[in-house]
Amino acid sequence: MKKPKSVRQERILSELNQSPSLRVAELARRLDVSTETIRRDLDEMTQQGLLNRTYGGAVRSLSSEPSVTERHALFVSERERIARATVPLLKGARVLMIGSGSTTVHVARRIAVEMKDITVITHAFGVATVLALNPTIRVMMLPGDYNAIEGATVGAHTVSFLQNFYADFALIGASGLGPDGPNDALIECGTVYQSMVARSARTIVVADHSKHGRLFPARYAHWRDISQVVTDRAAEGDLAESLKQSGVGQVIC
């Protein structure tokens, strides 16, 4: 029985949310339809701006990423492992800056359990909420314009406020890990992350394997600015070579 086109195309987007890219043959197998049907779907969805065609497959549109609420349901076990591996790297830290995102919320939740007597500067309401479970952690919320998709403040006031502080570590997620640096789908968030990197002694990027090799509009740092990447699968190809040349440590959990 053929799947209705709208349902099939929603499934294609769902599959692309969980994988950096997919081949036509693989999509056809997963959806139990012909490769010709998949190609027609991909052509139509490309015209709608929902994705980008590649040779033999497709990737999610550069300007498109699920909301932070939707992302919380993806790669949960991987993000929990990333959180457990990240906290030991923060030994001795007194001030942290934490960016928005689903992975950073997992890290913040682990910080609330394992750390005490620290100050956390953040623009993410999800991060602040889970840290509130630990009364010994002082949370400073950054001012700015509220971005409902990301659940965080952004804009000129956010960036200006950050200039008044230094941190031992910045903990930042990413929409993608490109060969020339971590990047984000939201340009406004990328600007905040860039400031966090500049105001912190060390920066740790936390991102699951689905972000490897993906490119989004806002590159917020060069790899030479990043101390470590905590992820659940070792980088490969150009990304692995870039991390090695820039001296970025990989923590694989």
Q: Which residue has the higher pLDDT, 40 or 53?
A: 40
CB atoms within 10 A of CB 136: 9
Nearest Cα residue to 166 out of 191, 140, 143, 200: 200
pLDDT surpasses 60 at 2: no
> Residue 59 has which token pair?
């990737």
Residues 140-168, mean pLDDT to the nearest whole number: 96
Q: What is the pLDDT of residue 74?
A: 58
Q: Which residue in the block uniquely carries the two structure tokens 């053929």?
A: 2
Q: Mean pLDDT for the chain?
A: 90
Q: What is the pLDDT of residue 1?
A: 47
pLDDT surpasses 70 at 71: no
Question: Can you list the domains of the chain with their CATH numbers?
Answer: 5-60 (1.10.10.10), 69-252 (3.40.50.1360)
Beta carbons of 222 and 195 less than 8 angstroms apart: no
Give CA–CA dist 124/141, Å, rounded: 8
* pLDDT tens-digit series, residues 190-202: 999 999 999 999 9
Nearest Cα residue to 96 out of 170, 163, 202, 193: 170
Give CA–CA dist 163/62, Å, rounded: 30
> Residue 6 has which token pair?
């709208």
Beta carbons of 154 and 82 less than 8 angstroms apart: no
CB atoms within 10 A of CB 30: 13
How far the first Cα of the chain sits from its last, in Å, is 41
